[in-house]
Structure 1
Amino acid sequence: MNKRQAGVLLHPTSLPNQDGKPGQLNDQAWLFLDWMQSAGLSIWQMLPLTEPHDDLSPYQAVSAFALNPALLPDDWQKHFQAEEFSYYLENPPHWLEDYALFMAIRAHQNHASWSEWPDDFKHRQSAALKVFSEQNSDVINKLKKQQFVLSAIWHKLKADANQKGIELFGDMPIFVAFDSADVWANPQQFQLDEDLNPTVVTGVPPDYFSETGQRWGNPHYNWQVMQDDGFSWWRKRVAEALSQFDLVRIDHFRGLEASWEIDAKEETAMNGKWVKIPGDELLAVLKEDFPDLPLVAEDLGIITDEVVALKEKYGLPGMSVLQFGFNGLPDNPHSLHEQVVNSVTYTGTHDNDTTIGWFESLDEGAKNWVMEQLRPLAKSIVAEKGLDDRLGYSMPWPLIIAGLESVAQRVIVPMQDFLMLDGPHRMNVPGTSEGNWTWQFSWQQVPEDLADTIYSLVKQSRR
Structure 2
Amino acid sequence: MKELERSSGVLLHLSSLPNQHGIGTLGKDAYEFVDFLAETKQRFWQILPIGPTGYGNSPYQSYSVFAGNLLFISLDRLVDDGLLDEAHVLQLPEMSEKTVEYDVVSKEKSALLREAFGAFKINFDDWKEEYYTFLGEHSWWLTDYALFRALKSNDEDLCWKEWSRPLRHRDEHEMDVALLKQDAEVNYHRFVQFIFFRQWFQLKNYANSKGILIFGDLPLYVSLDSSDVWGNQDIFLLDENCAMTHVGGVPPDYFSETGQYWGCPVFNWDRLAERNYDWWAARIHFNLRMFDLVRIDHFRGLESFWSIPSTEENAINGEWWPAKGFEMLSLLKSQLGYLPVIAEDLGIITPEVEALRDAFELPGMKVLQFAYAGNEKDVNLPHNYGTNFAVYTGTHDNDTTLGWLKTATKEERKNLKRYYSASWGTLHRSLIEAAWASVAKIAIVPMQDLLELDGKHRMNTPGTVINNWEWRMEWRMLKKAHKDFLVDLTEKYNRVVEL
* Superposition TM-score tier, normalisation by shorter sequence: over 0.9
Q: How does 1:408-447 map to 2 (within 5 A)?
A: 408-447=440-479
Structure 2 partner of 1:47: 48
How much does 1:341 deviate?
0.4
Instruction: Kindly indicate whether the alpha-carbon contact (under 8 Å) linking 2:223 and 2:265 is maintained by their aligned counterparts in 1.
Output: yes
Separation in structure 2 between the aligned mates of residue 421 and residue 62 of structure 1, nearest angstrom = 32
Determine whether 1:460 maps to 2:489: no
3-state DSSP of counterpart to 1:249: strand
How much does 1:325 deviate?
0.9
Structure 1 partner of 2:74: 73
Structure 2 partner of 1:107: 153
How much does 1:292 deviate?
1.1
Determine whether 1:119 maps to 2:165: yes
How much does 1:212 deviate?
3.5
3-state DSSP of counterpart to 1:191: coil
Structure 2 partner of 1:132: 178
How much does 1:209 deviate?
5.2
2:142 to 74, 93, 96: 96
For these two proteins, the number of residue pairs brought into alignment is 448
- Between 1:398-407 and 1:445-454, the stretch displaced more is 445-454
Separation in structure 1 between the aligned mates of residue 217 and residue 411 of structure 2, nearest angstrom = 36
Structure 2 partner of 1:172: 218
Structure 2 partner of 1:448: 480
Return 5+ residue gaps in structure 1 as ranges: 377-389
Corresponding letter in the other structure for 2:54: H
Sequence identity percentage: 42
Separation in structure 2 between the aligned mates of residue 104 and residue 75 of structure 1, nearest angstrom = 26
Structure 2 partner of 1:10: 12
Separation in structure 2 between the aligned mates of residue 40 and residue 458 of structure 1, nearest angstrom = 7
Separation in structure 1 between the aligned mates of residue 186 and residue 216 of structure 2, nearest angstrom = 27
- Between 1:409-418 and 1:196-205, the stretch displaced more is 196-205
Instruction: Kindly indicate whether the alpha-carbon contact (under 8 Å) linking 2:256 and 2:463 is maintained by their aligned counterparts in 1.
Output: no
Separation in structure 2 between the aligned mates of residue 85 and residue 207 of structure 1, nearest angstrom = 47
Separation in structure 1 between the aligned mates of residue 252 and residue 437 of structure 2, nearest angstrom = 36
Structure 2 partner of 1:56: 57
Structure 2 partner of 1:383: none
Corresponding letter in the other structure for 2:276: G
Q: Deviations over 1:361-387 (max 9, x none)?
A: 1367854641442236xxxxxxxxxxx
How much does 1:29 deviate?
0.3
3-state DSSP of counterpart to 1:3: coil
Structure 2 partner of 1:31: 32
Corresponding letter in the other structure for 2:439: V
2:208 to 162, 184, 191: 162
Return 5+ residue gaps in structure 2 as ranges: 82-119, 121-126
3-state DSSP of counterpart to 1:451: helix
3-state DSSP of counterpart to 1:95: helix
Separation in structure 1 between the aligned mates of residue 377 and residue 335 of structure 2, nearest angstrom = 36
The two structures, once aligned, show a CA RMSD in angstroms of: 1.9
Instruction: Kindly indicate whether the alpha-carbon contact (under 8 Å) linking 2:373 and 2:415 is maintained by their aligned counterparts in 1.
Output: no
Structure-2-length-normalised TM-score: 0.86
Determine whether 1:361 maps to 2:384: no
Determine whether 1:397 maps to 2:429: yes
3-state DSSP of counterpart to 1:350: coil
Instruction: Kindly indicate whether the alpha-carbon contact (under 8 Å) linking 2:373 and 2:411 is maintained by their aligned counterparts in 1.
Output: no
Separation in structure 2 between the aligned mates of residue 117 and residue 344 of structure 1, nearest angstrom = 44
Instruction: Kindly indicate whether the alpha-carbon contact (under 8 Å) linking 2:341 and 2:362 is maintained by their aligned counterparts in 1.
Output: yes
- Between 1:361-370 and 1:405-414, the stretch displaced more is 361-370
Q: How does 1:63-462 map to 2 (within 5 A)?
A: 63-75=64-76, 77-78=78-79, 79=81, 81-207=127-253, 210-362=256-408, 366-367=412-413, 369-375=415-421, 394-462=426-494
Corresponding letter in the other structure for 2:7: Q
Q: Deviations over 1:73-114 (max 9, x none)?
A: 124545473321022224434110000000010112343111
Corresponding letter in the other structure for 1:450: H
- Between 1:261-270 and 1:189-198, the stretch displaced more is 261-270
Instruction: Kindly indicate whether the alpha-carbon contact (under 8 Å) linking 1:201 and 1:261 is maintained by their aligned counterparts in 2.
Output: yes
Q: Deviations over 1:19-74 (max 9, x none)?
A: 5x111111110000001111111100010011111201101111111111111112
3-state DSSP of counterpart to 2:391: strand
